[in-house]
Amino acid sequence: MQRGYWIRSKPIYGSLVWQSPAAAHLVIAAGEGGIAVLKLFQQMYPREPIQVLYAGQPKTGRDYAEILGSTVPEGLQICNSEAELLETLKTQLGNYHMGTQFYVAGPEAFLWQVMKSLGQVGVQDADVHKELAGTLARPVYCVHCKTITEAVHHNIFSCSHCGRKLFVRDHFSRRLGAYMGLMVDAEQPGNIPKIEEVYP
């Protein structure tokens, strides 16, 4: 990124803060997103009903299920995986009405998987408060073979499907929940710039 220049599609994430007014609050988090939820509960609790859906990621990061269990006063539901959380979310969304405030925290791929589920019931991107937590790893969409490679840490990586060396751009698709990756050595095969870890 250069000074004075940015890609408009690159999402900017904030920190979760209870929103008022509201009819109800639904907090959805995975992995390190647990910290964002714990930070929420260090603020004054809202009066309206609260529900928290959390999936730990024991493999990649810390699992905050236990601490959340002793902190969250009501409505905590622990899921064993992100997939299970997304299933649970889908079955429960019908219980919510207009006026619900949505909060999502976790790795970027997770944020946008949740957005996909919320979008299916008409909740829009701008209506949801999001906090990126734990890792800057990017889901990247290969513009050549249309495959999404999860958790990319480097500026240049090999596509998980076609093997092309892809350069990770800041262009982001909200529909796909992924950044754009395009072949870095298409014009001069084998001429690959220095590969660095930029998304730890």
Partner 1 sequence: MTTLNVRVAAVEQVTELVKHFTLVQQNGQPLPRFSGGSHVVVSMNINGRNHRNPYSLMGSPDNTESYHISVRRQEQSRGGSVYMHDQVTVGSELQITYPVNLFAISKLAHKHILVAGGIGITPFMSQIADLNRLGQHYELHYAYRSPEHGAFVEQLREMCGDRLHCYVESEGQRMSFQQLLSQQPLGTHVYTCGPDAMVKTLLLTARDMGWPESHLHSEQFSAPPIGDAFVISLAQSGIDLEVPGDMSMLEAMEEAGLEPPFLCRGGACGRCELEVLACDGALMHNDHYLSDAEKTAGNKIMPCVSRASCQKLVLNI
Rounded distance between C-alpha atoms, residue 17 and residue 129, angstroms: 8
* Residue 100 sits in the site that holds partner 1 (CB under 8 A): yes
Q: Which amino acid is at 11?
A: P
* Residue 22 sits in the site that holds partner 1 (CB under 8 A): yes
Closer residue to partner 1 in complex, CB, 43/92: 92
Rounded distance between C-alpha atoms, residue 116 and residue 122, angstroms: 10
* Residue 13 sits in the site that holds partner 1 (CB under 8 A): no
What are the residues facing 130 on neighbouring strands? 104
β-strand pairing of 148-152 with 128-132: unpaired
Stretch that binds partner 1, among 64-72, 117-125, 153-161, 168-176 (CB under 8 A): 117-125
Give the HSE-up count for residue 42: Cα atoms under 13 Å, Cβ half-sphere.
9
Three-class SS state of 28: strand
* Residue 1 sits in the site that holds partner 1 (CB under 8 A): no
Closer residue to partner 1 in complex, CB, 90/146: 90
Minimum CB separation from partner 1 for residue 156, in Å?
36
Stretch that binds partner 1, among 18-26, 49-57, 134-142, 174-182 (CB under 8 A): 18-26
Rounded distance between C-alpha atoms, residue 52 and residue 80, angstroms: 14
Site map 37..76 versus partner 1, x via CB under 8 A? ----------------------------------------
Closer residue to partner 1 in complex, CB, 8/97: 97
Q: How many CB atoms lie within 10 A of CB 118?
A: 22
> Look-up: residue for tokens 């982001």?
172
List of residues contacting partner 1 (CB under 8 A): 19-23, 93-94, 96-101, 118, 121-124, 126-127
